[in-house]
Structure 1
Amino acid sequence: MHIASLSYALESLSLSDRATMAAVHGCGELQLMAVLHKPATWQQLCLRLAPAARALLDRIRRAGGQLPMLLCEAVGGPLRTNLTTLSPRTLLAIYPHHSPLETLVMAGLVWPVAHDGGYWAVLPDIEALLVPPLPVLTVPESVALDGDAILPRDEILLQLACLAFDGRVPLQHHGKVSQVVLNRISTDGVTAPYLQWLVATLLAGGALKAQSNLVVPTQLLLEWLQHPPHIRQQELARAWLQAAWSEWELGPKRRPPPLDVRLVRRTMLQAVLPHLPDTWCAGDDIIAQLRMSWPDVMRPMPADGRWKLPAGWPAHWDDEDGQLMRYMLMGPLAWLGLVEWAGNGLYVRRTQLGAWHAGLAVVPPVVAPSAVVLEPDMCVVVPDATNIYARFQLHRIADWQDAITAQISPARVKRALAQGMTLAEYIDVLATITAQPIPAEMQAMLRLWGAEVAQISVSNVVMLSSSDAAVIHDIQHDRRIHLPAHEVLDATRIVVAPSDAIGVVRRLRHAGYLIDTQQLRPSQFDDAELAIIDAALQHLATQNDAVRSIRRRIAQMRTPPGDTHG
């Protein structure tokens, strides 16, 4: 988009508009061109601007020099003139008081640009003469305060992981965590909103998964527990950004503000966090300053580039934008450890972790936790409570005797093996958390304890049987059948994986074998019902790949016409 030069813009003014602009700058019409090319002219003008007008000007400059007219008029209007007339600035001169936008227009600080509904722009020639914009947030003075109690986030994560491993984190029918889980967390200060948010974020990041009506840990959670604290919080923040749910779905039922909360998350982390102060500042002051200097921060520009004016905005800014901003600061950003509060929620500042996350600080100092110590009597001592990975693994394989000591016993080994862990995995876990090989005599003792455990596995298979053993022999060696990986039970029965069954049946039919698939067909629908479903999907007006996939599966499941053998 081409933006005119200052000289061209001045030459395009009508005589009356030129006189109006000269009066604003206190010079004659003939000297206007020379005066407006001096840096001192614009810098002195900016110093005389009212705070609201200066805030609007800085907002336009921070946006790259142009901002939609609708947005400018909403936060800095009204504009009581018609831009299509010959002298729109002269029409404004009849009013004794002017809005911030009118002030900028009359002084020539912003100029209209016809593009996608219209923009107000700061001309590049003027931008080069101005001093840098004021900071988004300014802290009048530093306040000496002690921060409010900080939740031990790693400890809470560990307790939640242990509860999930034990199957003690039930989900309610609407996807929220049961209130009983909050009672099982032994750490003081944990609130229901924080617990709901944490579980939902871990589910979104894949560190937890829903299984039946429970939440269970995944391998990814073990990897997170091994990370340094700042990397772990970074992964949690990434999961929060990618989550498909909205924060308003986690709280009590109420009418949510008409804002895209998921888009606001990215704005708070990538745009607002770098501007937050590192010293204590009143939370209300921060929100008030953001309302003046960046009123559209909660309403990012849509992908199509057209900013739409919400009905009644910004009259209800405090009830919608301000409410969401306060929730983000007191909720997720504080839960992630990026900001901290003091004075019972009155003062806020950015933490060192928040500065690192915003790219404004070096990597926080990392102290590797001490490894656990395996005693000769099969006791495991945890000298460092920050080693949450070791503590979680000990929860899986040993019994806690006190806060720092866990005991490995025959019953505990058998229980771990019965839950699906192999003896090799058990020994590997011990070697990992102790950071040294397990002595041979201890490995022998563990094998002795685990030898008494009989593991039973259950799997789904599809069995092919025949009354004639010769037929089964032919099927195994017939190249037309191309039998996949299978297991021979006896001379008349073999089993294949369920995923291979449909293909095997098709090739058997093509080879001339008579197949009875009545027991193979799913019991939910018979052939006539599948035909109805297929016909309905055929006339469904959609290009979704899932529909085509379902139709292919139905075709495989249905009995071919004329086949009386199923």
Structure 2
Amino acid sequence: MKLRECLANSTLVELKAIAERRGVRLRPNPLKAEVVDALTTELGTPASVARALADLSAEERQALETILAEGGRIPSYKLEREFGGVRKPDIYAYRDESARQPWRHIATPTEGLWYRGLIFRTFDVVGNWRGDVYLVPDNLRPLLPKVEKKPPQFSLEAVPAPSNLLDGGDLRRDIFALLAYLQRREVEPVRGDRLPKQDVVRLSEELTIRQDLSDVRNEEEAGRLAFVRRLADRAGLVQVLAGRLCPSSKTGDWLKMPRHKQIRELWQSYFQDEQWDELLRLPSLQVDRRIGYFRRPTATRQKIVEHFKQCPLGQWLTIESFVQSIKRLDPDFLRTPQDYNLWYMYDASGRTLQGYKSWDRVEGEFIRSIIRGPLHWLGLVALDDNRIGGVPTTCRLTAWGEWLLGFSSHPPAEPAHQPIVIQANFEVAVPYEAELLHVFQLERLAELVQRDRMSLYRLSKDSIRRNLEAGGKIADIIAFLEKASGQPLPQNVAYSLREWGGRYGEIEVRQAALLTVADAVLLQELRANKRVGLQVRDELSPQAVTVDEGEVAGLIERLRKAGYLPRVGDELAAAAGSKGRKGSSRRKVTMDESDLVPLLAAARVIRSMGAEVGLGQPLEVSSALLDRLESQLSYAALQTMQRLARQAEEAIAEALEEAEEEDEDEDEEEYFSYPPRPSVRFDTRSTRSVLEEALQRQVAVDIEYYTESRGEMTRRRVDPYRLEQRSGTTYLVGYCHWRQAERVFRLDHIRSAELTNEAIQQHT
């Protein structure tokens, strides 16, 4: 854009201000065209440009060089962040001396350049930016000094290695501790599959980094423990089974993995997790997600990791120099220029944190929290323990970090597994480097005394009994203990284990149904009658036997069909379908496991979603009832039931969301909410140009769309059909791939629009 065009796009008041600053004489009350001609002639001469340059302050010259280094065009937000904005003059500035006349009292370097006519502001495209830009007119650039763009420098402050390092713990062992805890205790989840608070507090005492969690309200507020649980869930290691949280069938395979594979899997799981949002977990920050909040955590992590790759290997650096380097080179890694005023965030005192001025409180704290949190916990960075103000101030990449980020082709050497030590007093010492799978199996056989660098367990009669009740065998227990310890058991321990195993089952306690007859001959007759099919479990006397409870209903029915008239006790009346004491006819309903699975799945859905849809009585399903019924299912049937319930919950949730959402066709209607949401409007100029190009090329577009009634930003692919004007507002009419239907979108609710290579399809 040349100087004349830039001047022609300015107002008459602005042109007069430029003329005054540059000393160009004008006649009283000139026409705009006359002023444009005069300024074009005067400002475009080498002598005039030289005088203007000589008049610049050091800051103004630096601002001009910044624009020239970018090729003469720079997004407005970039220049204004460093050199300030421009105050426009009042339209009556030359009629009223009290009106605002900023050109006479320059406040910022940008303002100094603008009122000298060296730069102008217009709408343009610079790289990925579509919006307001500052530019130097094309025919002025040859008259200005040539400035070469310097490659960005990632400037970091190196420091000596600290004397003490902060312990980041061991996430592998913490996940093991979680799985062992769930195996050892019966934990009934809350809110679907979350740990109750009392279990959060107890579990925190067994982790490698112990926290005081007495003040937290739930698992989500548990900091590092919540991160451990998230990684375990992402690996599929925890499940809800028969109403309790327990390790999944994947646990054994995961515990057998080599250490480097476990660490790599944990890193990749975190790195690719779109649901773990570090920004929402900053204790110093509150984010109102109802208003314009929309971000992709994985993309943000990718940017921070790319910056970490520029750090010198093996060198300790200050965290603050790393933060400030990102601020200088990539300030918009978290919030886009539009997001600075769209996202609503507050500090601990409730003050709003908006605009670029809040960068250190938002982006800066975000970077620090990732370094001191997940990157440290995962072992990628080491931190100093010489804490100033309660937090580490220096860091460096570890050997694990160098391997995970691709600087090294081989992982660090892994220490060899150490055997457990079984002592004659029945205590089992477990070293820190013991094989995790062996320790997990030991948890089923022994009682945990303490968990530490050298953990301690104790073999007892009760702990062995529990394993035998679960189907274990003494021979297998002894074989495992000798394999894990690498040597034969102490003689007294082996002897006691065999003795306990031999005594197990000498006394049997079980439920059974009692059948008695008037004389022994009748009992012999019943046992010989094939139509009755009496299956005796135990013979107590010539006139009394026991039968399995599951056989009672069928036996009574067969006795009646054979012509006998048995008297059924009240406790078995339901099974027999006879009259109870109150005369009510009760009949026990029996069903196959395949019939019970979908019914239990439906009951689980009602239990978990009843409150959300307002069911309550009489459809309230107790957790105790579900647990009793689920205990009758096989493991495979339980898995099937859980899958059916999960699919049903997802389908119902999606249907509820569809029902609650307003059609975008009604987006222009008024909606009310408390607290009231601010009206959000985006600049439509860049959006319109993209949509017009898409209509011309007949290709789909990807848009970020703000739904005001929900304060929610969504990303959609749309096949544009046309642009319409309704009551002074422009709308896009098109086919929404997300909704699978034609929709209408307000143009000023579209934050961004990007062309795709996908041709518009015909939709029915």
TM tier relative to shorter chain:
0.5 to 0.7
- Equivalent residue of 1:113, what SS? strand
Does residue 338 (structure 1) correspond to residue 368 (structure 2)? The answer is no
Q: Assess, with a 3 A threshold, how the Cα gap between structure 1 residues 132 and 182 changes in structure 2: closer, same or farther.
A: farther
Give the secondary-structure state (helix, strand or coil) at the position aligned to 2:396: strand
Q: What is the letter of the counterpart of residue 75 of structure 2?
A: M
**For residue 554 of structure 1, what is the aligned residue in structure 2?**
none
Tell me the secondary structure at the aligned position of residue 309 of structure 2: helix
Name the amino acid aligned to 1:72. K
| Equivalent position of 2:440 in the other structure | 392
**3-state secondary structure, aligned to 2:383:** strand
Structure 2 unaligned blocks of 5 or more: 2-39, 54-59, 89-102, 136-146, 214-222, 343-353, 511-549, 559-588, 600-617, 621-651, 664-764
Contact 1:339–1:349 (8 Å) recurs in 2? yes
Asked if residue 497 in structure 1 is aligned to residue 593 in structure 2, the reply is yes
**307 and 452 in structure 1: CA distance in 2 versus 1, 3 angstrom threshold:** same
Q: Verify the 8 A CA contact 1:413 1:450 in the aligned structure 2.
A: no
Q: Is 2:286 the counterpart of 1:255?
A: yes
Equivalent runs, 1:143-222 vs 2, <5 Å: 143-153=160-170, 154-167=172-185, 175=194, 177-178=197-198, 180-181=201-202, 184-185=205-206, 187=208, 189-190=210-211, 192=213, 193-209=223-239, 215-222=245-252
Give 1 or 2: higher strand fraction.
2
Aligned-partner residue type, residue 162 of structure 1: A
Within the alignment, does 1:412 sit opposite 2:463 as a pair?
Answer: yes
1:209–1:215 Cα contact (<8 Å) kept? yes
- The match for 1:519 is none
Give, as a single letter, the amino acid of the residue that structure 1 aligns with 2:201: V
User: Any conservation in 2 of the 1:72–1:120 contact (CA below 8 Å)?
Assistant: no
TM norm structure 1? 0.54
Aligned pair 1:233/2:263, yes or no? yes
C-alpha spacing 1:309/1:347, structure 2 compared with 1 (3 Å): closer
Match 1:113 to one of 99, 113, 125:
125
Matches within 5 A, 1:265-280: 266-267=301-302, 270-277=305-312, 278-280=314-316
CA contact (8 A) 2:169 2:377 kept: no
1:288 is paired with a residue whose SS is helix
Other-structure match for 1:242 = 273
Q: Match of 2:306, as an amino acid?
A: A
Distance 1:66 1:191 in 2: 56
Tell me the CA shift for residue 242 of structure 1: 1.8
Checking the alignment, whether the CA contact within 8 Å between 1:68 and 1:117 is kept in structure 2 is: no
Task: Find the residue that maps to 1:310 and give its secondary structure.
Answer: helix
The answer to whether structure 1 residue 349 and structure 2 residue 407 are counterparts is no
Higher relative contact order (CA 8 A, sep 6+): 1
Q: Displacement of 1:327 after TM fit?
A: 1.6
The superposition leaves residues 526-545 of structure 1 with CA deviations (integer Å, 9 ceiling, x where unpaired) of: xxxxxxx9xx99x96999xx
Distance 1:391 1:362, change over 3 A: same
Q: Secondary structure at the match of 1:317?
A: helix
Q: Distance in 2 between matches of 1:426 and 1:353?
A: 37
Change (3 A) 1:69 1:253: closer
Distance 1:502 1:66 in 2: 68
RMSD: 6.0
- The one-letter code sitting in structure 1 at the alignment partner of 2:355 is W
Partner of residue 282, structure 1: 318
Partners of 1:51 and 1:349 lie apart in 2 by 35
Moved more, 412-421 or 422-431: 422-431
What secondary structure sits across from 1:385 in the alignment? coil
User: Take 2:440 and 2:163, find their aligned partners in 1: how far apart are those partners?
Assistant: 32
**Alpha-carbon spacing, 1:49–1:254, altered in 2? closer, same or farther (3 Å):** closer
Q: Find the aligned partners of 1:100 and 1:20 in 2 and give their Cα distance.
A: 22
Shift of the alpha carbon at 1:291? 1.4
Residue 386 of structure 1 deviates from its aligned partner by: 4.8
| Corresponding residue pairs, total | 418
Give the conservation status (yes or no) of the 8 Å contact 1:147–1:340: no
Q: Distance in 1 between matches of 2:64 and 2:468?
A: 69
Shift of residue 150 of structure 1? Answer: 0.9
| Contact 2:380–2:401 (8 Å) recurs in 1 | yes
What letter is aligned with 1:449?
A: G
Seen in structure 2, the aligned counterparts of structure 1 residues 437 and 251 have a Cα distance that, compared at 3 Å, is: farther
Shift in Å, 1:134 = 3.1
Q: Per the alignment, do residues 384 and 187 of structure 1 end up closer, same or farther by CA in structure 2, a change over 3 Å counting?
A: closer
**2:177 aligned counterpart, secondary structure:** helix
Structure 1 residues 182-201: Cα deviation after superposition (integer angstroms, max 9, x where no partner): 66337565454222332233
Distance 2:474 2:161 in 1: 56
Letter in 1 for 2:382: E
Over 3 Å counting, the alpha-carbon distance change for 1:68 and 1:171 in structure 2 is farther
Secondary structure (helix, strand or coil) at the match of 2:163 reads: coil
Are 2:331 and 1:295 aligned? Answer: yes
Q: Is the 8 A contact 2:371 2:381 kept in 1?
A: yes
Note if contact 1:52-1:292 (Cα within 8 Å) is conserved in structure 2: no
Whether contact under 8 Å (1:397, 1:408) holds in the other structure is yes
Bigger Rg, which one: 2
The alpha-carbon deviation at position 145 of structure 1 amounts to 1.3
1:72 and 2:95 matched:
no
SS of residue paired to 1:117: strand
CA contact (8 A) 2:446 2:457 kept: yes
Tell me, what secondary structure is at the counterpart of 2:326? helix
Tell me, yes or no, if the aligned pair for 1:76 and 1:101 is still in contact at 8 Å. Answer: no
Residue in structure 2 matched with residue 553 of structure 1 by the alignment: none
Report whether the alignment pairs 1:328 with 2:370.
yes
1:302-330 CA-partner distances (Å, limit 9, x unpaired): xxxx9655354201112222222222222
Q: Secondary structure at the match of 1:256?
A: strand
Cα distance in 1, alignment partners of residues 263 and 64 from structure 2: 38
Shift of 1:295: 0.9
TM superposition shift of 1:399 = 4.5
Report if aligned partners of 2:75, 2:129 keep a CA contact under 8 Å in 1: no
Match of 1:372 in 2: 419
Q: SS in structure 2 opposite 1:267?
A: helix
1:139 maps to 156
**Residues 53 and 101 in structure 1, CA contact (< 8 A), matched pair in contact too:** no
Give the aligned residue type for 2:163.
Answer: D
Q: 1:382 to 1:275 in 2, by over 3 A?
A: same
Instruction: Please tell me the residue identity of whatever aligns with 2:267.
Output: A
SS of equivalent residue, structure 1 residue 315:
helix
CA distance in 1, matches of 2:285, 2:108: 41
Q: Deviations for 1:231-253, whole angstroms, at most 9, x for unmatched residues?
A: 32332233334262544666769
> In the TM superposition, what whole-angstrom CA distance separates every residue of 1:91-150 from its partner, at most 9, and x where no partner exists?
x9x9897459979x979xxx953777249799xxxxxx97872333x2344323124331
